Amino acid sequence: MATFGFLPRTLQSGGERSRYQVYVPATPRGAPLPVILFLHGSGERGDDGAKQTTVGLGNAVRAYGDSFPAIVVFPQARAGESWRGPMGERAMRALDATLAELPCDGARVYLTGISLGGSGAWHLALEHPRRFAALAPVCGWLDPSALPATLRARGGSQGDAHDAAARALRHLPVWVFHGAADAVVPVERSRLMVDALRRAGADVRYTEYPGVGHDSWNRAYAEPELVPWMLAHAGTG
C-alpha cells in the first residue's frame, strides 16, 4: 500500500460516504508536517474522489514532484453544492481525519480554494476562525447573506458585511489572488474584501493579474513565494 503521493480516503458519517484524497510527500517522517486544506471549484464537484486534484493546487503539487513541503487535504463537494453548510463540515471532517491519521503539525494548518472554493475558504475561515494559520482565497467572494448569524446581525449594507467579516478575520494572515479580466467572478468581489481587511488593520496581501481571466489559480499556485509565505505562519494548533 502506498504511503506517499495522492492517497484515496473515505469518510463515513451519518450513513453518508464521502471520498477525498490526501497528498503526502515522500520526505523523511521526522518532524510533523504542515497541512493545507484545498477547496476545489464548481467544475470538480461530484463523488469520484479524484477530480478535485486535477485543477488548481493539485497540479502545483504534481509540478513539485514528491518534494512538495506539506500534506494537502483534497475534499470533494457533492454535485450542485457549495462549501457552506454540510460540505464545509465534510471538508473539516476530512481535515480532522488527516490530522488524526498522519504526523501533522496542528499549529500549521492552512486554507486555500479556487472560485467556489475561494468563496468557501472565506466562509470556512469565518466559521472556524482559530483553526487556520493563514488563508489564501483565489478568485473567490464573500456572500453577505451566508455569514454566520453573529456577523449577519451586525448587518446592513454589503459594505457593512465585508467590514464585519474583516474584523472577525483580522488576526489571520491573508493573501488574496484574482484575475483582473475574470468574467465569472468579478474582480471587485476580491477588492471589496481586501479593502475591508485593510481597514480592519489585517495582515493582507493582494495580487491581481492584469488581463487574466477566471483561471487565475494557475498563476497563483505558481507563485514561488506562496507556499513559503503560508508555512512561515503558525497558529495555536
For 186-213, what is each residue's pLDDT tens digit?
999 999 999 999 999 999 999 999 999 9
pLDDT of 55 above 60: yes
Banded pLDDT at 236 (limits 50, 70, 90)? low
pLDDT of 34 above 60: yes
Mean pLDDT of 114-127: 97
Look at residue 203 and tell me if it is in a domain: yes
The DSSP-derived string for 50-117 is SGGGSSTHHHHHHHHGGG-SSEEEE--PPTT--SSTHHHHHHHHHHHHHHHHS-EEEEEEEEEEETHH
pLDDT score, position 73: 98
Look at residue 237 and tell me if it is in a domain: no
**CATH number where 167 lies:** 3.40.50.1820
pLDDT of 95 above 90: yes
- What range does the domain containing 166 cover? 5-231
Look at residue 236 and tell me if it is in a domain: no
Q: How many Cβ atoms from other residues are within 10 Å of residue 148's Cβ? A: 14
pLDDT score, position 83: 96
State the amino acid at position 198 in one-letter form.
R
pLDDT of 153 above 70: no
* 3-class DSSP state of 38: strand
| Cα torsion 14, 1, 107, 116: sign | negative
Look at residue 200 and tell me if it is in a domain: yes
Which of 2-6, 76-80, 85-89 has the weakest average pLDDT?
Answer: 2-6
pLDDT score, position 107: 95
Look at residue 141 and tell me if it is in a domain: yes
pLDDT score, position 152: 58
Mean pLDDT of 204-225: 97
Look at residue 113 and tell me if it is in a domain: yes
Banded pLDDT at 156 (limits 50, 70, 90)? very low
Cα dihedral 8, 71, 113, 158, rounded to 10, equals: 120
- Report pTM: 0.94
Dump pLDDT digits (tens) for 168-185.
999 999 999 999 999 999
pLDDT of 143 above 50: yes
Look at residue 111 and tell me if it is in a domain: yes
Look at residue 33 and tell me if it is in a domain: yes
pLDDT of 92 above 70: yes
Count up the domains in the chain and report the number. Answer: 1
- Which residues are registered as beta bridge partners of 114? 138
pLDDT score, position 5: 94
| Cα torsion 170, 190, 83, 21: sign | negative
pLDDT score, position 145: 83
d(CA 169, CA 182): 25
The closest alpha carbon to 94, from 172, 38, 156, 150, belongs to 38
Banded pLDDT at 159 (limits 50, 70, 90)? low
